[in-house]
Amino acid sequence: MADWYEARRYDVLVVGAGGAGLRAAIAAAEAGVKVGLVCKSLLGKAHTVMAEGGIAAALGNVDAKDSWEVHFADTMRGGQRINDYRMVEIFAKEAPERVYELERWGGLFDRTPDGKILQRPFGAHTYRRLCHVGDRTGLELIRTLQDRAVHSGVEVLMEVTLSRLLKDGDRVAGAFGYRREDGRFIVIGAKAVILATGGWGKVYKVTSNSWECTGDGCAMAYEAGAELMDMEMVQFHPTGMVWPPGVRGILVTEAVRGEGGILRNAKGERFMQAYDPKKLELSSRDVVSRSIYKEVEAGRGSPHGGAFLDISHRGAEYIKKKLPSMYEQFLKLADVDITKGPMEVAPTIHYVMGGVRVAPGEGASTVPGLFAAGEVAAGLHGANRLGGNSLSDLVVFGKRAGEHAARYVKGLDRAPRIDDGQADEERRLLLRPFDSGNTENPYELHADLQEVMGTHAGIARTGDGLRAGLDKILSLQERAERMRAAGSPLYNPGWHACRDVRFMLTLCEAILRSAIERTESRGAHWRLDFPDQDAGWGRKNLVVRRGDAGMTVSTRPVPEMPSGLARLLEATA
């Protein structure tokens, strides 16, 4: 152990303190191992607090006909059947118990008149399925888990950025990073590491994601040799704010449509009647996003390039009770009273379906000792995630990853060793932006990569566009070698941005390379040059991995559903 870093040691290190990380930490601690939990922000501020609409679980409290089978079928269909059915089955079966568990831990949901947890309708869910509390379900979830975690013996390290996984041979041995407060380096030895670092919406300019969503976990996993999957699948949420400029992209919860909101174009037409006459506004997110996009392209967009979403017919009292934060958000930030008139909305990058490829139900990546849960893990959502399925994903697979990591740790015959050389290599990389010869501004590079992704890997894609985008990202990667940070490592956002940009550029490359390969349209991946679904591609997932000569992309067969489950899909179609 060297003296230039702070050293910590845990059995299980959880990276990220959103819903998945907190739930994983609780599960590992309850299994009796020593757990450290690291977050980039303060505890309780993770992106999960932004989840508004609810948590999907087939409790059947409002629609008694709901069952795990229907939730399974909805989720598979939503994902256009390239999801891992084994994950979906576990998910649909276990989500209800995870919701009741939150309640036992002090979480409070809206109630039915007879005292049960209330459930609201949401896009592409057959039944009313989303347990919720107004439009701040994520806050309730994170607060509940946060209090449980800090009283379960989990040690929390706040405002720490981890930038490299340390390895002992092919196994994970811990992670390296720095304290944001003063730039002090930190080495965390761990027998197992669980990544719960969320998504990378920040590679796009118009996004509902916070500054934290730079995909550190996924990029670190890639650099450590783990396989990534479904990287081309990036979700546009149909409704983000469009005006004023400072709030462009901020989420307008799907619950607005769940509660009866109607989408109209500039001519006042309810255009979803043309695109999905059956489900209308409650069609799946990929369909609604494309529909808004097409309306704008056809010249029927709203003044700031979106559509109108109107909930005012539900009346002021109802809106203020069921959508209080939407009401506030529009009133304070956009001068719009949504109880009186429509809001203006447009698609915004919201979620990534792809990520670290994991063993279904265990969360184990292809690197021994490295686990992943939540948005950073791939497989559950396939080509498109249904609203409300994210929060249940976090608690179902967070718990499982925590348990399996603890089991893995208990089965080890010796603790992995830390190699100071790896830490030192990363230290030098981190400090490079302070070298005087450098000139590139990380904020400019970030804006440039966002521009590339928006232009070339946006809602509508073409092979030529994607390839041109890839060239630009590769040259940005070269410029990124020369990033410059001023000042000292003391709480220095400009310096922090340098590492973020490197991570994001890796993920941009993975998105583009995968999107080039998938020559069809499926879910969130819409290719203008291949507008139809292709049955062959429907049996394949794309896998990205680090090769000797750079990034490689290959295909993997989608696990085939046993006939019993396949019949469920036909039966409930």
Partner 1 sequence: MTEATLHVFRGDKTGGELRPYQVPLTEGMVVLDAIHYIQQHEDATLACRWNCKAAKCGSCGAEVNGKPRLMCKTRLDQFKGHPVTVRPLAAFPLIKDLVTDVSWNYRVNQEIPPFTPARDDTGPWRMYPEDVDRMFEFRRCIECFLCQDVCHVLREHDGTSRYYGPRFMVRIAGLEMHPKDTVSRAHLLRGRGGIGFCNITKCCEEVCPEEIHITDNAIIPLKERVADEYFDPWRALLRAFGGRREPRGT
Catalytic residues: 237, 257
Question: What is d(CA 515, CA 473) in angstroms, rounded to the nearest whole number?
Answer: 14
CB of 313 to partner 1, least distance (A): 23
Span interacting with partner 1, options 106-114, 218-226, 404-412, 415-423, rule CB under 8 A: 106-114
- The yes or no reply on residue 350 touching partner 1 (CB under 8 A) is no
State the nearest-atom distance from the C-beta of 156 to partner 1, in Å: 8
* Cα separation values, 546 from 221, 370, 506, Å: 10, 16, 10
Cα–Cα distance for residue pair 248/127, rounded to 1 Å: 32
Using the rule CB under 8 A, is 113 a contact of partner 1?
yes
Q: Residue 272 class from Cβ within 10 Å (0-12 exposed, 13-18 middle, 19+ buried)?
A: buried
Which one of 86, 143, 479, 482 is in contact with partner 1 (CB under 8 A)?
Answer: 143
Q: Report the residue from 64, 268, 317, 335 that binds partner 1 according to the rule CB under 8 A.
A: 335
Q: Cβ of 545: how many Cβ atoms within 10 Å?
A: 17
493 touches partner 1 (CB under 8 A)? yes
Cβ-contact 146, 138 below 8 angstroms: no
Q: Are 56 and 392 in contact (CB under 8 A)?
A: yes
Q: What is the dihedral of CA 204, 367, 429, 205, to 10 degrees?
A: 0
Instruction: Please report whether residue 147 would count as binding partner 1 according to CB under 8 A.
Output: yes
In the window 432-471, what residues touch partner 1 (CB under 8 A)? 441-443
What does each C-alpha distance from 336 to 321, 327, 333, 339, 341 come to in angstroms? 17, 9, 8, 9, 7
Beta carbons of 355 and 372 less than 8 angstroms apart: yes
Min separation Cβ 16 and partner 1, Å: 13
Residue 392 or 492 with smaller CB distance to partner 1:
492
Q: Is 134 in the site for partner 1 (CB under 8 A)?
A: yes
The continuous run of DSSP H or E covering 178 comes out as strand 171-179
Report the residue from 211, 269, 478, 531 that binds partner 1 according to the rule CB under 8 A: 211
Task: Give yes or no for residue 42 binding partner 1 (CB under 8 A).
Answer: yes
The Cα–Cα gap between 194 and 175 comes to 11
Q: How far apart are CA 43 and CA 27, in angstroms?
A: 18
Dist. CA 391–CA 290, nearest whole Å:
24
| Site track 65-104 with partner 1 (rule: CB under 8 A), x = hit | -----------------------------------x--xx
Indicate whether 331 belongs to the interface with partner 1 (CB under 8 A). no
**At closest approach, how far in Å is the CB of 50 from partner 1?**
5
Q: Strand, helix or coil at 535?
A: coil
> Which 236-265 residues touch partner 1, going by CB under 8 A?
243-247, 250-251
CB 230 within 8 A of CB 383: yes
Nearer CB in complex with partner 1: 181/481 = 181
Site string for partner 1, 504-543 (x = CB under 8 A): ----------------------------------------
Say how many residues touch partner 1, by CB under 8 A: 66
Q: Which is nearer to partner 1, 207 or 384 (CB)?
A: 207
Contact present, 356 and 507 (Cβ < 8 Å): no
Q: How far, in Å, CA of 573 to CA of 319, rounded?
A: 33
Q: Of 228-236, 333-341, 394-402, 526-534, which segment contacts partner 1 by CB under 8 A?
A: 333-341
Positions in 551-570 near partner 1 (CB under 8 A): none
Q: Does 108 bind partner 1 (CB under 8 A)?
A: yes
Q: How far is the CB of 474 from partner 1 (least distance, A)?
A: 24
Instruction: Judge contact between 355 and 229, C-beta under 8 A.
Output: yes
Listed in sequence order, the residues at least 6 apart from 249 whose beta carbon sits closer than 8 Å to its beta carbon are 205, 206, 207, 208, 240, 241, 348, 349
Does 22 bind partner 1 (CB under 8 A)? Our answer is no
The footprint of partner 1 (CB under 8 A) covers: 41-47, 49-50, 100, 103-106, 108, 110-111, 113-117, 133-134, 136, 139-140, 143, 147-148, 150-151, 156, 158, 181, 210-212, 243-247, 250-251, 325, 328-329, 332-335, 441-443, 485-488, 490-495, 497
